[in-house]
Structure 1
Amino acid sequence: MSISNAIVHQFFRNSTTNALQLRADELGIDEPLHDLLGQVKNAFYNRSNKQYGRFSDEAGHVKALAGQWASRSLGFVTLTEQWMKHLQTELIARELDIEGYWLFAQETLEQGDQLWFFHFKHKPGLYLSHDLDLGDAAMIDFSRLGFGGVIDLAALSRKDAQYLTLSFGFGDRSLQVALLDVVNFVDTLDTSVDTDRFMAIVKAYSETLPTEKCANYRRKAIEYCTEQDKLGETVVCNDISVALASAQDPARSESLVTFMQQTEPEAKAEFIPDRKSLKKYLRYTGKSKEVSISFSNDILGKNVNFNPENESLTITNLPAALLKQLKEELGQL
């Protein structure tokens, strides 16, 4: 990780108080800052509610600021100060309450620069000094990180269709609409559609493999996509095809990517996996007021059988704990 610029500001607003504290200079680039951004990024990548898109085509304050910073016609401190003042103006106008700190950081990667912004709060804590004295401390609460996002500055300069990724966190529900408006965000990518389409291709391909390899191939494909999601990476179809080669029939020359090119040539060769969509391929889940059922996809047709005519499930090899409860209820133990 290579951080070139970073700064933190504080904003607190409720019905009686409106306080914006702006730091005058950038943070020093040191190990604690790298650790801070590293933890923020991990929390961001581990979220399942990310949204992908771009700035609205209409003129917007944050859009203008990001463009000016990308072209280096605006200083980093000024960028973040103007951003925070715009946030303050919008939330006051909407009479919304907020508290906490805002981190802005630019990270330089091989593929281009990224501008991170994140809202976080602190929690009370204790510390021991070098003299072993006990004192109070205010600590960043990484378990309650709020709204945040990242702008791919190279993609922004190219005016790509997708260069802005956002995510909401703990306690953001009442602020969601306002924060999206502040950033001028437009959702341009439906990751669930892309994930469903790819998994349909995987299913079709796996059904051409020997029966004993079919379910295992699909499971490994889901695991691969899930891991890419956790890393904040896209799924490149050629890469997953190579990675799963050992799970297919060794005598089969046609790979997943070849099958995809022949049957679905217009499908995306690279996509962002959707975590919620992937979960439904791992487990069947459903509940009503009286019943909650969840089981692995692998046992459908084995320990669990579905009859579509009368819409019923037959379950064998029940979990030991459930079996014990049922027998106790019938007085058989």
Structure 2
Amino acid sequence: MHRFYVNDDNSQLTKSPAAHSINSLAQDLSQELKLAFIGKAGKQFGQFDRDAGACPVPAWIADYLESKQSFHAFSERFAEHLQIHMAQADALYDGFLLLVHETLADEDCIYIYLVQHEGGIFIDPAMQLAEAKNIDVRGLRGGLKISLTQWQASEPEPYLAMLRARGEKPLAEAFEAATGFTDPVDTAAQTSAFLQLVERYSANLQEEQAAACKKKVADFCIEQDKSGKAIEIAEISQQISDEEPAAFERFVIEAAPEAPAQFYADRKQMRQFVRISGRTDQLSLSFSSECLGQTVVYDPGSDTLVLKEIPPALKARLIKYVHQAGEE
């Protein structure tokens, strides 16, 4: 953990004297930050910049993994590196830099977070109001997941997952430059191409089967994205059909042999794939795409929607409103 206080007049970095001991508090915080990070939509996936001069982070990680330096020493070097980029980007930041090395059975990762405190009020044992501070886990200012397992693979997939701070461009640019993140994957384009294949595949199914197929695809991809995992065509093919688990995979190979065997989903497109929604200041509508043409009918000529089988709660409120308006 390292402390930053950077404003227009001052750039202060207070480095921790040693790595934090592994105890229940550290483990709980690490888990909360990890869940918050992987649960956020809009992450980018990429790799380290191959220019060693512009991106020294891979060399520092290699030194750490080869026991040429401690994890704490690596964190100090990165903190100093980040401070330089903050100064160059005129970034303002009052918060902390946290680095976590997590080793699991199936993956070895380093997480880097930018976090801040948030204030609150609590009632102390003397029944007095007092101020408190806690780490704003949900309001991550930036984050990076480095999959060491994928990074060290002979044919690595994108092994970096980057979360940029929204509304804080200088800070986001400084963090991205310091980490050396580059070659971002165009998740929107990959998702769009994949959904076109799903549309073509489901067009050959019966109406009920097609609707079920699209829902299974969307649900699975959204859950994978929430878990920070890539979507594998072979795995999603098994989700679509228990009777023919390889049917969709064969279709993709034949219809689009250039399509990647796995991709990262754009969660927004996945949700729109099975739901149609829109809103103005006075109106908000959201319904399953299965309803279109059945309980929801759109007439392009008159630009109107006709709603059938109105939800009971909405119907009751409409009847009550009409009754009251009539009395008035």
Give the TM-score taking structure 1 as reference length: 0.83
Deviations 1:206-242 (A, max 9, x none): 2222222221221122111111112222222222222
SS at 1:15's partner residue? Answer: coil
Which of residues 260, 269, 288 is equivalent to 1:277?
269
Alpha-carbon distance in structure 2 between the residues aligned to 1:62 and 1:253: 42
Are the counterparts in 1 of residues 41 and 226 from structure 2 also a CA contact under 8 Å? no
The residue number in structure 2 matching 1:101 is: 96
- 3-state SS of paired residue (1:100): strand
Alignment of 1:119-268 (within 5 A): 119-125=114-120, 126=122, 137-157=132-152, 158=154, 160=156, 162-169=158-165, 172-246=168-242, 255-268=247-260
8 Å contact kept, 1:39–1:142: yes
% same residue: 27
| Cα contact 2:118–2:134 (8 A) shared by 1 | yes
Quick check: 279-288 or 93-102, which moved more? 279-288
Q: Please report how far the alpha carbon of residue 83 of structure 1 lies from its aligned counterpart in structure 2 after TM superposition.
A: 0.9
Aligned partner letter, 1:280 = Q
**Does the C-alpha gap of structure 1 residues 19 and 261 become closer, same or farther in structure 2, counting only changes over 3 Å?**
same
**1:147-195: per-residue Cα shift (whole Å, max 9, x none)?**
0111122433457352211103466444222222222221431122222
Write the distance in 2 (CA, Å) between the matches of 1:175 and 1:204. 43
Tell me what 1:3 maps to.
Answer: none
Please say if residues 124 and 137 of structure 1, whose CA atoms lie closer than 8 Å, have aligned partners that are also in contact: yes
1:248-300: CA deviation from partner (whole Å, max 9, x where unpaired): xx6x7972222223322332222222211111112222345665443221101
Structure 1 SS opposite 2:146: strand
Residue in structure 2 matching 1:36, options 19, 22, 29: 29
CA contact (8 A) 2:143 2:162 kept: yes
How far did residue 47 of structure 1 move? 0.5
The answer to whether the aligner puts 1:80 opposite 2:52 as a matched pair is no
Does the 8 Å CA contact 1:70/1:153 hold for their aligned counterparts?
no
Letter in 1 for 2:268: K
Q: Tell me the secondary structure at the aligned position of residue 138 of structure 2.
A: helix
Q: Does 1:297 align with 2:289?
A: yes
Mapped contact 1:127–1:137 kept (Cα < 8 A): no
Would the alpha carbon gap of residues 286 and 138 (structure 1) be closer, same or farther in structure 2, given more than 3 Å must change?
closer
Q: In the TM superposition, what is the alpha-carbon distance from 1:40 to its structure 2 partner?
A: 0.6
For 2:320 and 2:163, how far apart are their aligned partners in 1?
A: 42
User: Residue 20 of structure 1: which of 13, 22, 40 is its match?
Assistant: 13
Q: Distance in 2 between matches of 1:225 and 1:45?
A: 14
Q: What letter is aligned with 1:305?
A: V
1:50-83 CA deviation, whole Å, 9 max, x = no partner? 0101122332243443343344433211111111
> Considering only aligned residues, what root-mean-square deviation do their CA atoms show, in Å?
3.1
The 2-side partners of 1:204 and 1:332 are apart by: 54
Question: In structure 2, what is the Cα distance between the partners aligned to 1:32 and 1:241?
Answer: 41
Contact kept, 8 Å, 1:63 with 1:183, in 2: the verdict is no
Corresponding pairs, count: 321
C-alpha separation in 2, matches of 1:64 and 1:86:
13
Is the partner of 1:301 in helix, strand or coil?
coil
1:68 is aligned, of 63, 67, 90, to 63
Gaps of 5+ in 1: 1-7
Cα distance between partner residues in 2 of 1:70 and 1:152: 13
How far apart are the structure 2 equivalents of 1:260 and 1:324? 50
Q: Contact conserved, 1:146 with 1:171, CA < 8 A, in 2?
A: no
Judge conservation of contact 1:147–1:172 (CA < 8 Å) in 2.
no
Structure 2: gaps of 5 or more residues: none
- Code of the residue aligned with 1:196 in structure 2: it is S
Matched, 1:52 2:45: yes
Question: Offset of 1:17 from its aligned partner?
Answer: 3.8
Q: Against the structure 1 CA distance between its residues 178 and 169, is the aligned structure 2 distance closer, same or farther, given a 3 Å change threshold?
A: closer
**Structure 1 residue 31, shift from structure 2 partner:** 2.1
Q: Which secondary structure state, in structure 2, belongs to the residue aligned with residue 107 of structure 1?
A: strand
